[in-house]
Amino acid sequence: MTASPALAATRPGAPRLRVRWNIFLFLFVFALIGYLQRTSLSVAGVPMMQELSLSEEQLAWLFDAFILGYTIMQFPGGLLGQRLGARLTFVLIGLLAVAAMLVIPLAPLLGTGAALLAVLLLAQLVLGLAQGPIFPVSTGVFEAWFSTDKWSLVQGVQSMGLQIGAALAPLLIAPLMSAYGWQSAIVWTTVPALGVIAGWGWYARNRPTEHAQVSATELAELGTTAGAPAGVTISWGRVRQLLANRDLLLLTLSYLFMNYVYYLLSTWVFLYLVQERHFTVLESGVLATAPPLAAAAGAGLGGYAASQLSRRFGVRFGLKIIPLLSLPAAGVLQYLAVDAVNAYLAVAALALCYACVELNEGPYWAATMHIARADSMAATGLLNTGGNIGGLVGIPIIGYLAAHHAWTTAFILGTVLAVMSAAAWLLVDPTRAAASQIRAGAEA
């Protein structure tokens, strides 16, 4: 389905900045806000424990409640996005996330002791449920608004946004806590999201053909993608096909293995630097920013490189090159980090390792989009379910090993899983499903 000649004739001339990049900017900011919100509790955790009489174990329960909700809502969130459309879905989950965040500073007014802990756990669970659909639904927007050669690029650059959000959390919340307290800090970093949600609801559309500001030139640039039917509702038959798709299941398993390494680096580096490398807390706070900043750069670079490699070598082989090179490299760098005599070399190795891991966000998500096409929201929801199961399983394993000062074992396990993650890519063909559909159509 394409825009009619009469409609195309009434559209404005091509603006310097295409509407699709404005849409992308909203999704970049949603990713940034999401990780700013989820990291806020980590930054505010120490004063919260002191003022609310929470233990370290109870604070860990709050982190786990978020991850549980986030993991649970990945696949259902993708299904929800396909049924409601991205425009409405982001408004609903955005408002729900803001409400859950505001409950946290208000919770002390609602009770103390077990009642307070229950409210905080519920707020964290709801925040995880609200944020779960962000990336699967974003994928559906990318599928509709960008040509296939840009899928890796936009996925990688959006992943930069989440890393920037994680890096901004301590920079924004720490000074606000010092000046106004942890409750006000969370409120002041949460409320601005309402403006982004309102702007999205007013400006965004599910498909380019629905947006009055999309020019005829931009529609021509997007080709058949722009004219695809809006609001593709997935059937249970297609859900079963996705759950049985060999390539999608292999990618999900591979992503699970890789995300053990991701959670090791994103969650435990600070403690490792203090406990094993004997940096002071202040030194560790500064040095621990190096890995996420390297990860942000890696995500953007990986998305760009995967797009270029797919153009040159085709989707089937082009998307494999980065995982087959960078994931084993991440494994080697983990080993070098724990084996390094010089502590600063260990930090550098961890930063490079994190960058190597994040190089793969574009390839993983773009490959899933090629497999699922119109069902990209649901398929990437499944992919990210696997990724976050890697966190749910990996975090307690790493926590146990850290408690016993067995950091070498934790990183060696990461080395093995990184290599296994790369090996799974050898069996993946992102174009297999599309080729099967073409053959079936020809036979019909």
Question: Residue 9 above 70 pLDDT?
Answer: no
| pLDDT of res. 283 | 64
Could you write out the DSSP letters of every residue in 297-343?
Answer: HHHHHHHHHHHHHHHHH-HHHHHHHHHHHHHHHHHHHHHHHHH-SSH
CATH 1.20.1250.20 intervals, the chain = 10-233, 235-444
The C-alpha torsion from 248 through 238 and 375 to 305, rounded to 10°, is 20
Q: How confident is the model at residue 15 (pLDDT cuts 50, 70, 90)?
A: low
Specify the pTM. 0.83
| pLDDT of res. 96 | 97
| pLDDT of res. 229 | 45
Query: What's the CA angle centered on 337, arms 336 and 341, to 5 degrees?
Result: 85
Task: State how far the Cα of 436 lies from the Cα of 432, in Å rounded to an integer.
Answer: 6
| pLDDT of res. 52 | 84
Mean pLDDT for 208-217 is 90
Fold that domain 10-233 belongs to in CATH:
Growth Hormone; Chain: A; (1.20.1250)
| Amino acid (1-letter code) at residue 228 | A
Question: Residue 151 above 60 pLDDT?
Answer: yes
The C-alpha torsion from 404 through 124 and 385 to 255, rounded to 10°, is -40
Question: Residue 26 above 70 pLDDT?
Answer: yes
Give me 136's structure tokens. Answer: 């699967």
> Between these two residues, 177 and 422, which has the higher pLDDT value?
422
Question: Residue 404 above 50 pLDDT?
Answer: yes
Task: State how far the Cα of 173 lies from the Cα of 189, in Å rounded to an integer.
Answer: 7
pLDDT, tens digit, 9 for 90 and up, residues 108-127: 887 777 888 899 999 999 99
For the chain, helix, strand, coil in percent to 5 are 85, 0, 15
The C-alpha torsion from 148 through 25 and 300 to 425, rounded to 10°, is -40
Give me 393's structure tokens. Answer: 């399983």
Q: How confident is the model at residue 231 (pLDDT cuts 50, 70, 90)?
A: very low
Question: Hey, what CATH class is 235-444 in?
Answer: mainly alpha
| pLDDT of res. 168 | 76
pLDDT, tens digit, 9 for 90 and up, residues 37-86: 888 877 777 788 778 887 767 777 888 889 899 999 999 999 999 999 99
Q: How confident is the model at residue 436 (pLDDT cuts 50, 70, 90)?
A: low
